[in-house]
Amino acid sequence: MLNTPVVIVDDDLAVADFVAEVTRQSGFQSRHFLDGREFLDIADHRQVKILILDLMMPEIDGIEMIRYVADKMPHISLILMSGIDASILHAAQELAVEHGLKLLGVLQKPFHPDRLSKLLLDWKKDHEAGGIQGSRFSDSEISESELREALVNKQLKPYYQPQVSLNNHQVLGFEVLLRWQHPSRGLLAPMQFIPLAEQTGLIKEISLQLIEQVARQWSQFNFIYTVSVNMSAAVFSLLDLPEQLEIVFKKYHLDPSQLILEITETAIMEELVKSLDCLTRLRMKGFQLSIDDFGTGYSSLVQLHQLPVSEIKIDMQFIKKMEYDKEALAIVETVILLAKKLGHNVVAEGVETRKIYQRLIELGADIAQGYYLARPMPAEEIENWIQHWQNMMDSE
Ligand code: G
Ligand code: G
Ligand code: MN
């Protein structure tokens, strides 16, 4: 068993000593391995929280290490360092993220000790706050220019959460949940940067880039599934949004009906008149619209009737409580009924247990989404997950 929180893997003794000293000064105990294999051979890695990994080593390279660590010890956070060129470092960074590892940062050698100690101290603060990715940032606030850089450097990545039919358990589609793979802050959740994107107007560019990225991946994998994208109200002020999306979908030979734009009740109602033009033209071009977090906003039934939507998503707070809270159950039942009467599909979000999944079938909901099926995942994991889900359903 390894009982130090930090492990350093580097074949260069001088670098390793330097890193160990910075780590010690940041308040962490560390252990050094010259050869990655020695580290991997130890049976129990549970105490290890952070791995500081050199990418270029003679015995086993950093890329192999990343794959192995992601598989066998996914709880570990990673710091990558290397003297090789920035593009390889960047590719390794992408790989780590695709494998679902939490990346604290990348350091190009030679680096200033402060950069390493900052990554370690940030980790400590986030960790002490009890959060994984820390809604509480130790660090300076995210700036507009940082967000702009993220756009240019393609640091914004779609993760996908599956949706299945409650009639026959078939996979129908995926909701896109945006992540920011920040070079030094780690993997950021939308809550941490969408508000800034909305304030600065960058949300329009971000959403268009995201949809293009999603369309490219969909055509790469030949997916016929639907894909649901969360939209901020401001994006609908782009009058040529329907035309822009049409161009993207033609380019990748996708059908517009595969795209479902999700908008929250509150957002639509605030900008109803301005958005209605755009929303209607999107529908006319065959794109679908969905009302997200239904039950938390303040739309009237008349407005709901006016909107050209095809789907309603019941807010997950009601789904999670419906087993033991009569009022929550009543809301779920009523929204299902309402959706049916209006001819809309109804999606239950936040389905965390098999019991709730079964109950929703009895209640007549159409589609389920939630941790019971899967957490959001990178595109590369989708095919494996589908296989896993089908096997599970076949063995029932
Ligand atoms: O898993 P999760 O933390 O990803 O999502 C948190 C919230 O962020 C959700 O309410 C979701 O609607 C919102 N969100 C996720 N991706 C996007 C996006 O691409 N654009 C906008 N506007 N909101 C998003
Ligand atoms: O607001 P919107 O519905 O777009 O947000 C979806 C959010 O809910 C995302 O943050 C997503 O990661 C999260 N989520 C998805 N499924 C579940 C679930 O089963 N349980 C919980 N607690 N959160 C979920
Ligand atoms: Mn959503």
State pLDDT tens for residues 326-357. 999 999 999 999 999 989 999 999 999 999 99
Looking at the chain, the whole-number percentage of residues with pLDDT higher than 90 is 65
Does pLDDT of 9 surpass 90?
yes
Q: Whose CA is nearest to atom 13 of ligand 1?
A: 190
349 belongs to the catalytic site: yes
Question: What is the pTM (predicted TM-score) of this model?
Answer: 0.70
Lowest mean pLDDT among 154-163, 249-258, 304-313: 304-313
Ligand 2 atom at shortest distance from the alpha carbon of 190: 10
Residues, beta carbon < 5 Å, ion ligand 3: 230, 262, 292
Q: Whose CA is nearest to atom 1 of ligand 1?
A: 177
Q: What's residue 136's pLDDT?
A: 40
Rg (CA), the chain: 23
- Please provide residue 127's backbone torsions phi and psi, each rounded to the nearest 5 degrees: -70, -40
Does pLDDT of 131 surpass 70?
no
Please give the distance, rounded to the nearest whole angstrom, from the Cα atom of residue 178 to the centre of ligand 1. 6
Angle 343-344-347 from CA coordinates, rounded to 5°: 145
Measured distance between the N- and C-terminal CA atoms of the chain, rounded to whole angstroms: 39
Between 306 and 7, the more confident residue is: 7
3-state secondary structure of 196: helix
Whether the CB-CB separation of 332 and 318 falls below 8 Å is answered with yes
- What is d(CA 35, CA 45) in angstroms, rounded to the nearest whole number? 16
Please give the distance, rounded to the nearest whole angstrom, from the Cα atom of residue 293 to the centre of ligand 3. 7
Does pLDDT of 325 surpass 50?
yes
Whether the CB-CB separation of 8 and 23 falls below 8 Å is answered with yes
Pocket of ligand 1 (CB under 6 A): 177-178, 189-191, 194, 210, 230-232, 376
Mean pLDDT of the residues in the chain: 89
Ligand 1 atom at shortest distance from the alpha carbon of 189: 3
Lowest mean pLDDT among 172-176, 307-311, 379-383: 307-311
Could you tell me how many helices (H) and strands (E) the chain has, helices first? 16, 14
Q: What is the mean pLDDT of residues 310-325?
A: 93
- What is d(CA 190, CA 179) in angstroms, rounded to the nearest whole number? 6
Whether the CB-CB separation of 393 and 198 falls below 8 Å is answered with no
- Please provide residue 219's backbone torsions phi and psi, each rounded to the nearest 5 degrees: -75, -35
Please give the distance, rounded to the nearest whole angstrom, from the Cα atom of residue 180 to the centre of ligand 1. 11
Q: Which of 243, 323, 349, 380 is catalytic?
A: 349
Does pLDDT of 384 surpass 80?
yes
Q: What's residue 4's pLDDT?
A: 83
Q: Which ligand is nearest to the CA of 161?
A: 2
